[in-house]
Amino acid sequence: MKIYPIEAGNFKLDGGGMFGVVPKTIWNKTNPADANNLIDIAARCMLIEDGNRLILIDTGMGNKQSEKFFGYYSLWGDFSLDTSLAKYGFHRDDVTDVFMTHLHFDHCGGSVNWNKDKTGYEVAFKNATFWSNENHWEWATKPNPREKASFLSENILPMQESGQLKFIERPDSDFGISKELGFDIYYVDGHTEKQMIPHINYNGKTIVFCADLLATAGHIPIPYVMGYDTRPLLTMPEKTKFLTTAAEKNHYLWLEHDAHNQIITVEQTEKGVRLKEVYRCEDILI
């Protein structure tokens, strides 16, 4: 098995939205804001090469929305999904599986493109199976008013219409192996219904793709919960369980949204779980 970081493009989000009730004087120390109160955000996806399978976890925003839409997110940097794939000798047509932690636009927008004449949409990975889970798909395709702006039908429905969508079979508990893809998944409901957090065994290490359960290293303290979470009081025990296990077992936490800290470990302290070490992807993936 080999794992590659796929940088799908950087953007910015409101710091207050990203940290909820935590005061700016506190979160600004770890995630400094610009003059517009925006903080740097990454879309660091993961590519797993395992035998004849090439599995992409999340796909970033994509590029099909309007200029006005992208204007809200202050895109920056030169990263793109295609150039990141090409860096490691791959093309999107080589991808066999696209696993979506959840269907918010910044995690799945790159799964669907315009067709050639921009009259409709088509899947961006023509040879891939797209993986979600049935509970989350139902939640995303019949969105509540709070999340409606994050679940865009043009990002979601074409996967089903293509016939390439499949659902992960969920275990009876909130943690279990995916028979379909061969890695463990932690199911969490605080951010959105049945978000999936993959745990990959790699060269004797457990690498955990944190998605929106732990957006950045600055979000490690348990009360530091995003304002975007639908059930913040549920996020906190989910984070507690997750970070306690990560500290005990020395998990390597892959931060999808942290533009400046790629992989981290955590440890127990007298103040609770806190940051231990910071790594670049190449430090862990060699």
In this structure, what is the dihedral angle of CA atoms 80, 85, 88, 93, given to the nearest 10 degrees? -160
Number of domains in the chain: 1
- Cα–Cα distance list, 50 to 2, 97, 130, 144 (Å): 7, 11, 17, 37
Q: What was the pLDDT predicted at 37? A: 98
The CA angle 161-164-167, to the nearest 5 degrees, is 105
pLDDT along the chain (286 residues), means of 10: 98 98 98 98 98 97 95 96 97 98 98 94 98 98 96 98 96 94 97 98 97 98 98 98 98 98 98 97 91
The CA angle 236-18-62, to the nearest 5 degrees, is 115
Neighbours of 69 (CB within 10 A): 13
Q: Are the beta carbons of 187 and 222 closer than 8 angstroms? A: no
Residue 23 structural domain: 2-285
Q: Note if the pTM is more than 0.85.
A: yes
Sequence length of the chain is: 286
Q: What was the pLDDT predicted at 286? A: 72
Q: Are the beta carbons of 131 and 97 closer than 8 angstroms? A: yes
Dump the DSSP string for 230-276.
S-HHHHHHHHHHHHHHHHHHT-EEE-SSBSS--EEEEEEETTEEEEE
Say which CATH number the domain at 75 has.
3.60.15.10
Q: Is the four-CA dihedral 139, 215, 43, 205 of positive or negative sign?
A: negative
Give me the phi and psi of 32, to 5 degrees please: -60, 135
Strands 205-209 and 252-254: parallel
Q: Are the beta carbons of 128 and 95 closer than 8 angstroms? A: yes
Neighbours of 233 (CB within 10 A): 9
| Secondary structure in 3-state letters for 152-217 | CHHHHHHHHHCCCEEECCCCCCCEEECCCCCCEEEEECCCCCCEEEEEEEECCEEEEECCCCCCCH
In this structure, what is the dihedral angle of CA atoms 99, 257, 69, 92, given to the nearest 10 degrees? -40
The DSSP call for residue 52 is: T
Strands 175-177 and 184-188: antiparallel
